Structure 1
Amino acid sequence: MSPLAHYELMSSKDRNTVLFICLSTAITFFDFLIYLYIADTVATAIFPGTIDVNTAKLQGLGLFAVGYLARPLGGILFGRYGDIKGRKPVLLMSMLVTAISLLAMACLPTYAQWGIFAPALFILLRLVQGMAFGVFVPLSWVFVAEHVPRQYLSVGCAYVTASFFVGVLFSNGFFIWLNNTLTFEQMVDYGWRIPFFVAATLSFLPLLFWRTINETPFFVDLKSTRHDIDKTISYTNKPFTLLFKHCKHSIFINMMLTLIISSITLVIVLILPDLIELRFAPDSDLFGFAHSLGVVFMILGCIFYGIISDYQNFGKVLAVGSILLIAQIFAFYYHLEAGGDYILIMFAILGFCAGIVGMMPAILIQLFPTNVRLTGMSFSYNITYGIVGGLIPFGLAYATMYISFAPALYIAFIGFVGIMMGLYFYNLPDMKKIDDLVYRTE
C-alpha cells in the first residue's frame, strides 16, 4: 500500500512541489508555443528568401506541426526511462533538453549564413524540443498526483493543467509587447531570436530549485518492493507486454480523454482567433483582449472542475460539462454572426466551459499501474496529441473557408465524445473501485 493511501493534509513540501511543477509547466508551455507566434518571421529568416508568402506560411505551420509529431517518440523513450529510473531524473532531463534546444535555436545561423543547413538544424532542434515536451506534460501530472494526498489528487492535477494556460497568457502578453516594439524587418533581422533567449533563460530557472524536491512516494514505494526476480524482469524488460496485454482498455480510455483535452486546447485556446478571422472581421484589439480574457476564465474553469470532480462523480460532471460546452460554442458562433457586441462575455463563458479539461488528468494517471504509468500515459497521450496537433489545424482551416461554423461543429463533436465518456464512467462499476487501481504496482 502506498504512503498516499491514507487521507492526510497536504504538507508544505507537497505544496512546494505543486508550485514547482506549475511554474515549470507554465514556462514549458510558453517554450513550446513560441513558434506559433512567430512562424512567418522564423520561416523568412531560416528558409530561402525566394519563396512566396503563402509557401512561407505553410512552412511555418509545418514546422509547428513537427513539434507535435515528435512528441510520441519522446514520450515513449523518456517515459520508459522515468518508469525505470524515477520521475525526478526524467524531469531534470526533459527540462535540460528543452532549455538547451531553445538556446541553440536562439543562436542558430540564418539561411543567408549557412544555407540549407540552417532550416535542417532548426527542424532537428524542433524535433528534439518536441520529444522533451512529449514526456513533460504527462510527467507533470504524474509527479503531482504521486505526491499529494488522495483527496487533493483532482485539484492538484487541475492546478497543473491551469498552469499550461498561464503560459498561454504570458505568451500573448509577451508577443504583443514584442510586435509593438520591433518592426517586421527588425524581427526578421534579429528579433526572432529574443523569444528563444527569454524562453531558454526561463527554462533554466526551475533547475535552481530541482534539488529541493523529492522523488515521488509512489516510485520510492515501488522501488523498495522490487525483491521478486520475476517481477523485476517484467518490470524492466516487458513494459509493452504489460501495457498491450493487460492495459488495452486503459490505453483506449486515455486516448479518448486526450482527444477531448487536445482538441479543446488546440482549437479554443490556440487557433480559434485565426479561424474566426478567416470568415469574420472582428476588431483586432478588442478581439485579442477577449481571447486573453477567455484564457483567464479557462484557468478558473480548470480549477473549478478540478475541485468539484473526483472518481465518484467524474462521469456525471464530465457529461454535464460537455453539454454546457456544446451549448456555449454554438451560442458563441451565433453571437459572432449577429455582430459580436458582447464578445468579451461570450469568450469568458466559453473559456470557463472549456475548463472541463482540468478534471481529466486525475483520471488519466489512475488508468495505469505505477510501474508502467509514465510509459502508458506518454504513449497514449502523445499518439493522440500528435494526430490532433498534426491534422486539425490544417483540416479546420480548410473547412472554415467553406463553412464558417466548422470550428463549432468540431468542438460540438468533441463535446459529444465527452458526453459518451461521461455516461460510460457514470455507469462503470469499476469507478467505485478505482482506489485499487491507483495503488496497484504489478
Structure 2
Amino acid sequence: MPSRPQYELMSPKDRNIVLFVCFSSAVMFFDFLIYLYMVDVISAAFFPANADSAITRLQGLGLFTIGYLARPLGGIIFGRYGDIKGRKPVLLISILVTAASMLAMALLPTYAQWGLAAPALFIALRIIQGMAFGVFAPLTWIFVAEHVPRQYLSAGCSYIMVSFLLGVLFSNAFFMWLTASMTTEQLITDGWRLPFIVATILSFLPILAWRYISESPFFIEMKEQKPGKCFAKPFTLLFKHCKHSIFIGMILTLIISSLVTVVVLLLPKLITLRFTIDSDLFGFSHSLGIIFMIFGCLFYGILSNYQNFGKILVIGSALLIAQVFAFFYHLDAGGDYILIMYALLGFCAGIVGMIPAIFVQLFPTNVRLTGMAFSYNVTYGIVGGLVPFALSYATVFVSFSPALYIAFIGFIGIIIGLYFYNLPEFKQINQLV
C-alpha cells in the first residue's frame, strides 16, 4: 500500500494533531494519578475507619493498583475495535469514558452515607477508567506515528512521553496547592471531590477540538483497499504472525513501565523509608528530576531519529545504571547535592522517550493497536500491580532496593539494545499481515 514520502515537512494539520494528543495525554495522566496523591484521603472517605494506618494505606494503594489491573482488559477490548473500526473512534471513546468516570466519582456518596455500596461503586468506576486508560497510551503513539512524516516519528512519539510527565508536574503542583488550602478533615468531608471535578472539566476540553482531528492516513488507505482478511479477527492474525513482536513489545514496556513507575511515581516514598532529607528540598528535587527527564525524553527521542536505535539504547541504559547507583550512594553519604543528582537521574531515565517509536514499528498496521495494547497493558498491569508493593517491602530491609531494580531494568535495556543494533532498520510502518 502507498506510504507518505520519506522526507516531508510536518503540516499545520499534523502539528495540531500532535498538540491535541499531547494535551489529552497530560490530562489523562493527571486523571489516573489522582488516587496516588489522594490515597489516604480517599481511603478515609470510602472505607470504614481503621485504627491501623498501614491497613488504611493498603486499602488506598489497592484502589490505585486496581486501575493497573483493569488496563489489560480495556486494551484487549478497545484495541481490537481500533484495528477494525479505526483509531479516531477509539480515541474519542477512551476520552469520553474517562471524563464520564471522573464526573461519576466526583458525585459519589461516601462510606458514611452509603456504607459498603460506596467503595463498591468507586472500585467499579476505577476499573472502567483503568480500562479506558489501558488503550489510550499505545493509541496516542500510534495516532501520532501514523500521522506525522517518517522523519518525525521518533520525536513525535517522544512528545507524548513528555506530555505524560507534564501531567505529573501539574499533579505535583495541583496537590501541593490543594493540601495547603484545605485541612485533612475538609479533604475527607468533601474536598476530595475537587480533583475529580477539575479532571472532568479538563477531560472534556479536548472534545471541543474534535472536528479538527482526522482518522489515521494508514488506516484510511488500508480501509480503501478493503482486504477482508485485514479487518477480520485481529487477535487471530496477531498471534499467528506476531508472537515475536509481542514478546519484544513486552520487554520494551517493562522498561517504560518500570522507569515511569519507580523514578517518577514511587521514588520519593521509597527514599523516605530509609533516608532523611529535608522535605521541601526533596519535593523540589523530585520536580526538578521530572523536568530533566522531559529534557532526556526529547534528547533521546530526537537523537534516535539520526542514530541506530540499538546503539543509543545501550549507551543510555549503561548511563542510567551508573547514575542510579551514584544517586543512592550520594543519599547514603548525606544527600548534599540532591538537586544535581536527581536532575541527572531524571535525564538518564529519559531513555523512555525513544522507545515508543520502535514499539509502533513492531506491529503491522491492521493489528498494530491490538498488538501494542495487549503487550503494553499486560506488562504494565504486572509492573503496576506488583512493583509498588514489592519495592516498598524490600526497601524496608535493603535501602538500595530501588537502585538494584532500576539497574536490572538497565541491563535489560542493554540486552534489547544489542538485539536491535544488529537488526536492519525498519523500512516502513504501513505493512499488513
TM-score class, shorter-chain normalisation, is: over 0.9
Partners of 1:37 and 1:427 lie apart in 2 by 43
Unaligned 5+ segments in structure 2 are none
1:310 Cα deviation (Å)?
3.2
Task: State the SS of the aligned residue for 1:404.
Answer: coil
1:54 Cα deviation (Å)?
1.4
Which stretch shifts more, 277-286 or 236-245? 236-245
Identify the match of residue 392 of structure 1 among 387, 412, 421: 387
2:230 pairs with 1:239: no
Aligned to 1:110: 110
1:311 Cα deviation (Å)?
8.1
Q: How does 1:23-422 map to 2 (within 5 A)?
A: 23-50=23-50, 52-226=52-226, 228=227, 232=228, 234-310=229-305, 313-422=308-417
Task: State the SS of the aligned residue for 1:69.
Answer: helix
Contact 1:4/1:148, CA 8 A, preserved across alignment: no
Task: State the SS of the aligned residue for 2:299.
Answer: helix
Aligned residue type for 1:401 = V
Contact 2:152/2:305, CA 8 A, preserved across alignment: no
Aligned residue type for 2:402 = P
Aligned residue type for 2:47 = F
Contact 2:147/2:216, CA 8 A, preserved across alignment: yes
Partners of 1:439 and 1:110 lie apart in 2 by 49
Aligned to 1:441: 432
Unaligned 5+ segments in structure 1 are none
Partners of 1:314 and 1:265 lie apart in 2 by 20
Task: State the SS of the aligned residue for 1:382.
Answer: helix
Query: Relative to 1, partners in 2 of residues 1:157 and 1:2: Cα closer, same or farther, differing over 3 Å?
Result: farther
Q: Deviations over 1:281-318 (max 9, x none)?
A: 11000000000000000011101100000386000000
Partners of 2:340 and 2:157 lie apart in 1 by 27
Contact 2:18/2:156, CA 8 A, preserved across alignment: yes
1:50 Cα deviation (Å)?
4.0
Aligned residue type for 2:264 = V
1:207 Cα deviation (Å)?
0.6
Report the identity percentage: 69
Aligned residue type for 2:398 = I
Contact 2:84/2:232, CA 8 A, preserved across alignment: no
Contact 1:2/1:217, CA 8 A, preserved across alignment: no
Q: Deviations over 1:195-233 (max 9, x none)?
A: 00000110000010011111111111111011x4xxx1x
Contact 1:30/1:168, CA 8 A, preserved across alignment: yes
Aligned residue type for 1:386 = G
1:237 Cα deviation (Å)?
3.4
Contact 2:75/2:134, CA 8 A, preserved across alignment: yes
TM-score by length of 1: 0.97
Q: Deviations over 1:161-210 (max 9, x none)?
A: 11100000000000000001101001101111110000011000001001
Aligned residue type for 1:159 = Y
Q: Deviations over 1:358-382 (max 9, x none)?
A: 0000000101111110000000000
Contact 1:75/1:131, CA 8 A, preserved across alignment: yes
Contact 2:83/2:234, CA 8 A, preserved across alignment: no
Contact 2:259/2:406, CA 8 A, preserved across alignment: yes
Contact 1:275/1:400, CA 8 A, preserved across alignment: yes
2:422 pairs with 1:427: yes
Partners of 1:46 and 1:62 lie apart in 2 by 12
Which stretch shifts more, 50-59 or 205-214? 50-59
Contact 1:46/1:118, CA 8 A, preserved across alignment: yes
Contact 2:69/2:385, CA 8 A, preserved across alignment: yes
Partners of 1:255 and 1:311 lie apart in 2 by 25
1:5 Cα deviation (Å)?
4.1
Partners of 1:375 and 1:68 lie apart in 2 by 18
Contact 1:298/1:354, CA 8 A, preserved across alignment: yes
1:3 Cα deviation (Å)?
3.6
1:244 Cα deviation (Å)?
1.2
Partners of 2:334 and 2:50 lie apart in 1 by 40
1:416 Cα deviation (Å)?
0.1
Aligned residue type for 2:200 = A
Contact 1:294/1:348, CA 8 A, preserved across alignment: yes
Partners of 2:179 and 2:220 lie apart in 1 by 47
Contact 1:4/1:147, CA 8 A, preserved across alignment: no
Q: Deviations over 1:252-302 (max 9, x none)?
A: 110001000000000000000000000011100000000000000001110
Partners of 2:14 and 2:3 lie apart in 1 by 13
